[in-house]
Amino acid sequence: MSIAERSSFKYTAVGRLMSDPLAVAAVTIIALLVLCAVFADAIAPYDYKALNVRERFAPPSFVHLLGTDNLGRDTFSRLLFGARIALFVGLTSVGLAALIGLMLGMVAGFGPRWLDNAILFLFDTLRAYPTIILALALGALLPPGLGTVILVVVLTTFSEYGRVARTQTQALSAQEFIDAERAMGASPARILFMHILPNVLGPFFILAAINLPVVITIEAGMSFLGVGVAPGTPSWGATLKDGFDYIRNTPWLIVSGGIPLVLVTLGFTFLGESLRDVLDPKLRKER
Amino acid sequence: MKAALDIRDLSVDYHTRAGRLHALRNVDLLVPDGEVVGLVGESGCGKSTLISAVLRLLAENAEVPGGEIVLDGTDLLSLSDAEMRLRRGRDVSVVFQDPMTGLNPVLTIGRQMIDIQHREALSRAARRERAVDMLARVRIPDPASRMDSYPHELSGGMRQRVAIAMALMMNPKLLIADEPTTALDATLEVQIIELLQELQGEIGCAILFISHHLGVIAELCQRVVVMYAGSAVEEGGVRDIFHAPAHPYTKALLDCDPGRIRERRQTLPSIPGSLPDLTAPPPGCIFADRCTKADAGCGATQPPRIDTAPGHWATCHFAEAMR
Amino acid sequence: MSGPLLKLEGLHVRFSAARGIRSLLAGREKQTFDAVAGVSLEIEPGECLAIVGESGSGKTTLARAINGLTPIAEGKAWISGEPLHDKPDWTAVRRQTAMMFQDPVGSLSPRMTVRNLILEPFRIHGIAIGEPERKARKLLAAAGLSQEFLDRYPHQLSGGQARRVGVARALALDPALLLADEPTAGLDVSVQGEILTLLNKLRGELGLAILIITHNLNIIRHVADRIGVMYLGRLIETGPVEEVFANPAHPYTRALLAANPEPDPDARLTRIALKGEVPSLLARPKGCEFHPRCPWAHEDCATRAPDLASVSGARRKARCLHPFPDFECRSEAAGGK
């Protein structure tokens, strides 16, 4: 096969991504979610915190698309605003966890042996700690709120990014082009940031995309357990909890609270899979 | 002449994003019974596709638009998957460049050599005996104790011997040796070549020996097939090929080998240009744009297969004139 | 500049063997071995020396020690008079010694364009380039590639093209010495000639000294002036290429040359069968380290260790107690093997 560069749209990363139906589905779902979060004020038919005792436990209808909860709040509106919280928590905590993990992982993979061992010990310790226990402990210690949720998520997930970054860095360091850079006189910092970092980022985006729904689920789970967001916040987890509490009165509440979680999970997982196909140079070769 | 392997008019296409890639085009290749045939070609010539096609292990995006692969009288392309599975390892087996490709790192040599005989109606002891015997035949010192070794405990040369023993265990009709000496040092390469020569005499199986090392081909093979960009361009006895090449590509390739140039040279020959785009192969001769002999006719019409001597042919308009 | 460009005196490179948990528990001493065990050599400005040997002979490690990729354990080394054994400024050393690695594509940073790969040495050393675009084109042209390659990525290059990019990059800072590790490895026969011609041309035009590390004997005679044969981390024979090829003094050199298959079906080979395989560096044989495999070994070879001593003229040396003065009489002595 000719190895000449093909510059038409079909061969760019975005072009390849868009030729994959799975990726198109993923991007559509994620775009919808983002639109909902951004324009929640405009789309939502009701104020998400407006109480309406007369219409408690209203079933889905044209007035309330997904019904109302125990306080008569419009579920659809609450879910729209919930998207905002989910995305905020998801992006912030994945971003923070990825950044911390990336830094520590690259230092571990590139630095001296003792430092590698020390950082690995930290990773292993944190990984061994069950998320839910940590969440309950921190939730009990700290006031409920988004900050607590983000802290728990970052603490429990950054080691995963760190491990990926470390493995990638080690594998890359053993490659000949790194030796070639050293032989040219490149400083360790230059090698790390100019040559290792760009090659670690690909797998990182994949991991982050796959992890985002996990994080949103953790937030929902913590809110469900009551150690997440402050009461009254329209988080998806809180909506689910209400649905669970009043499952006999409003069986639809738990269903409609779950739908966005399912959609988000599917959307980001699909995106992660398609990104892997596009970004992984081994799979990309001359197919 | 009875043939162990007779490939006739074989074409293989790959479906790629850039379009249909014609990886093999009307390839003819004959491996007579009990002979060693060398397959020479540079990267991109289609060697790997050819091996995969013979083993029926082509990639998912491959398609075989035409041709026959006749192994010991049966067209492999007509077999069911289950029938083909029975033939792999028994009628045709492979030795790879990296012996670890064919060896399982977590099982002992002995276990693997016994397992490979699972279709034989033999007792365990008999299988073990056969395995030890085979290891002895590939000149592994102290074969009985080597049975308990793991592949990683052996040196590169020893591993390749074990890989050869595994491949010959079931007395295949055809052994495909895919660059088996490329990863080895010169002194070990010699040992493996001599071993293959001796074994071929003892066991009598046909060998398709793939290598880019002309020296090894010249020494080991009786016949040679030259491939370029998915086409077999010349086939003949080893002396015909090396002393009277009938295809300009073969001649250029031989001229390029630094090993054939005895006196010191500042400027060494090479073949300028690059491989054609196989998604849109040229209408005429595949080598025309790099050929020093080519004229307008070469670019327009595909050269026929021209016999220049008994058992020696080339696909070149000037094949007769080349000699 | 007077004196040799590169001078090595008794150079050692030491590695520690990986320890299993068993030996750790048993509290055994950490085992070390010398991958390069006392190599002395000199390269004059503009000269090309080829180091030949099989895997494990320490030839690549030797090149890596010269530009500090692996530390020198013992011995001395100088480049243009600057000592390398005494905490040198490696960044400065690496400016004058460019290194080319075995894998033509794999030694190029995969997410950089050819343009950036070629300009990388300037950026590393903080050297201002007036017109980067012109400089990149000029270097690429010197390596025989047209400017259309500037925007390509390594995976879009063939082996030969990638090798040329490697050469262009190596030339960027006008080095005095090029360390070329297997410059033709992974290249098709039809491309090998191109690269060798290019190296010859650059030597002639730029007065570049080259240290070629290779196991491919065929290419040596066309590029190198002198050859050094390594075995178990030591030089066992050195001399002018033509003379060593015509009449190797050390039995190992002889076996190595004889093991090189001739691309001619009618070639009559005088093979020399070496016994066994290369011994482990952790268990070097006593006496002459080659004697367990040597078809001509005498009794004293097992006990007396030879030095690299002059044989047949001052320009040639061999580490052998009984070197070949000439082939005829020795082959009879060995029973015509």
C120-129 confidence digits (pLDDT tens): 999 999 998 8
Q: What span, in angstroms and rounded, lies between the C-alpha atoms of C185 and B278?
A: 26
Q: A125-165, pLDDT tens digit by residue?
A: 888 888 788 888 887 888 878 888 889 889 888 999 999 99
Q: What is the pLDDT of residues C285-322, one digit of tens each?
A: 999 999 999 999 999 999 999 999 988 777 899 999 99
Chain B nearest CA to A12, separation (Å): 12
Q: Which amino acid is at A33?
A: L
Decide if pLDDT at C237 tops 50: yes
How far, in Å, CA of B98 to CA of B163, rounded? 9
Q: Which fold has domain B3-91+173-321?
A: Rossmann fold (3.40.50)
Domain residue extents for chain B: 3-91+173-321, 101-171
pLDDT higher at C324 or C253: C253
**8 Å CB contact of C269 and B258:** no
Chain A residue with minimum CA distance to C124: A186
Q: Is residue A239 part of a domain?
A: yes
Whether the pLDDT of residue C92 is over 60: the answer is yes
Contacts of A287 in chain B (CB under 8 A): 16-17, 61
Q: Give all chains having 3 or more CB-to-CB distances under 8 Å with chain A.
A: B, C
In chain B, residues with a C-beta closer than 8 Å to the C-beta of C255 are 187
Nearest partner of C255 among C232, C239, C231, judged by Cα: C231
Per the CB < 8 Å rule, is A183 touching C109?
no
Q: Which residue has the higher pLDDT, A78 or A232?
A: A78
**Hey, what are C38's tokens?**
């006392």
Using 50, 70 and 90 to split pLDDT, how confident is the model at B89? Answer: confident
d(CA A69, CA A71): 5
Task: Quote the pLDDT of residue C268.
Answer: 65
Judge whether A54 is closer than 8 Å to chain B, CB to CB.
Answer: no
Share of chain A above pLDDT 70, in %: 92
User: Per residue in A63-87, is it b (16+ CB within 10 Å) or e — as a string?
Assistant: ebebbbbeebbbbbbbbbbbbbbbb
Inform me whether the C-beta atom of residue A8 falls under 8 Å from chain B C-beta atoms. no
- Range among A44-53, A79-88, B303-312 rated most confident: B303-312
Q: Residue C222 is nearest to which of B187, B189, B261, comparing CB atoms?
A: B261
Rg (CA), chain A: 23
C190 → closest Cβ in B189, B239, B270: B270
Task: Please give the average per-residue pLDDT across A61-75, as a whole number.
Answer: 77
- A56: in domain: no
Sheet architecture: strand order including C32-43 = C32-43, C6-16, C74-79, C82-83
| Listed residue (A141, C69, C68) closest to C79, CA to CA | C68
In chain A, how many domains are there?
Answer: 1
Does ipTM surpass 0.90 in this model? no
The reply to whether residue A199 touches residue C111, judged by beta carbons under 8 angstroms, is yes
State the pLDDT confidence band at C337, using cuts at 50, 70 and 90: very low
CB contact under 8 A, A6 and B277: no
Distance (Å) from the alpha carbon of B228 to chain A's nearest alpha carbon: 13
Q: Which amino acid is at B198?
A: E
Q: Look at A286 and B278 and tell me if their CB atoms are within 8 Å.
A: no
Q: What is the DSSP letter of B49?
A: H
Interface residue A285 vs chain B (CB under 8 A): no
Do residues C311 and C323 make contact, with C-beta atoms less than 8 angstroms apart? yes
Q: How far apart are CA B167 and CA B177, in angstroms?
A: 10
Residue with tokens 């099989």: C54
CB atoms within 10 A of CB B299: 14
User: C223 CA to chain B: closest CA distance, Å?
Assistant: 7
**Chain A residue numbers touching B18 (CB-CB < 8 A):** 1-2, 6
Measured between CA atoms, the residue of chain C closest to residue B269 is C193
User: Å from B17 to nearest chain A CA?
Assistant: 7
The residue among C243, C246, C258, C215 whose CA lies nearest residue C317 is: C243
Q: Chain C contacts of A185, Cβ < 8 Å?
A: 90-91, 94-95, 121, 124-125
Task: Look at A11 and B279 and tell me if their CB atoms are within 8 Å.
Answer: no
Contact flag A1-B277 (C-beta cutoff 8 Å): yes
Model confidence at A53: pLDDT above 80: no
The type of residue at A108 is A
Residue C331 pLDDT more than 60? no
Among chain C residues, the shortest Cα distance to A172 is held by C109
Residue C74: alpha-carbon gap to chain centroid: 19
Instruction: Say yes or no to pLDDT of A259 above 60.
Output: yes
Measure CB to CB from residue C196 to each of B42, B193, B258 and give the nearest one: B258
- Contact flag B239-C265 (C-beta cutoff 8 Å): yes
A13: pLDDT confidence band, cut at 50, 70 and 90?
low
CA B258/CA B261 separation, integer angstroms: 5
Of the pLDDT bands very low, low, confident and very high (cuts 50, 70, 90), residue A9 is very low
Measured distance CA(C172)–CA(C191) in Å, rounded: 23
Report the amino acid identity of residue B107: L
| Cβ contacts from A onto C, under 8 A | 65
In a domain, A57, yes or no: no
**Would you kindly state where each structural domain of chain C is located, as residue ranges?**
1-224, 237-337
Q: Which residues in chain A are contacts of B277 at CB distance < 8 A?
A: 1-2, 4
Q: How far off is chain C from B255, nearest CA to CA, in Å?
A: 9
- Chain A nearest C-alpha distance from B155 (Å): 23
Residue in A closest to C64 by C-alpha: A183
SS3 at position B304: coil
Question: Which of A168, A184, A196 should one mutate to test binding to chain C, selecting the residue with the greatest count of C CBs within 10 A?
Answer: A184
pLDDT above 90 for A62: no
Distance CA A114, CA A110 (A): 11
Of the residues B16, B17, B22, the best mutation for testing chain A's interface (the one with the most A CB atoms within 10 Å of its CB) is B17
Report pLDDT for C327.
45
Residue B272 distance to chain C (closest CA, Å): 8
**What is the least distance, in Å, from the CA of A8 to any CA of chain C?**
14
Contact: A1, B17; criterion CB under 8 Å: no
Reported confidence tier of residue C23, pLDDT bands at 50, 70, 90: low
Chains with ≥3 Cβ pairs under 8 A against B? A, C
Residues of A in Cβ contact (< 8 Å) with B61: 287
Per-residue pLDDT band for C71 (boundaries 50, 70, 90) equals very high
Count Cβ atoms below 10 Å from residue B219 Cβ, excluding itself: 21
In this structure, are residues B11 and B62 in contact, taking their beta carbons and an 8 Å threshold? no
- For residue A71, CA distances in Å to A31, A53, A247, B200 come to 31, 6, 14, 87
| Chain B residues lying within 8 Å of C217, measured CB to CB | 186
Determine, for residues B16 and A287 on separate chains, whether the beta-carbon distance falls below 8 Å. Answer: yes
Residue A254: predicted pLDDT:
79
Given a cut of 90, whether residue C211 has pLDDT beyond it is yes
Are the Cβ atoms of A180 and C67 closer than 8 angstroms? no
DSSP C11-68: EEEEEEPPPPHHHHHTTPPPPEEEEEEEEEEEE-TT-EEEEE--TTSSHHHHHHHHTT
Structural domain containing residue A128: 9-43+67-283
Domain CATH for A197: 1.10.3720.10
Q: What is the pLDDT of residue C185?
A: 84
Interchain CB contact of B48 with A (< 8 Å): no
Q: Considering only alpha carbons, which residue of chain C is nearest residue B186?
A: C259
Q: Does domain C1-224 have CATH number 3.90.1150.10?
A: no
- Verify whether the Cβ–Cβ distance C188 to B212 is below 8 Å: yes
A10 touches chain B (CB under 8 A): yes
Cβ contacts (< 8 Å) between B219 and chain C: which residues?
261-262, 265, 267, 269
The model's pTM is 0.83
Q: What is the mean pLDDT of chain B?
A: 90
Q: How deeply is A201 buried, as exposed, middle or buried, from its count of CB atoms within 10 A (0-12, 13-18, 19+)?
A: middle
From residue B82, give the alpha-carbon distance in Å to each of B85, B88, B291, C223. 5, 10, 45, 54
Most confident of A256-260, B96-100, B107-111, B184-188: B107-111
* CA-wise closest residue to A101 among A173, A172, A204, A198: A204
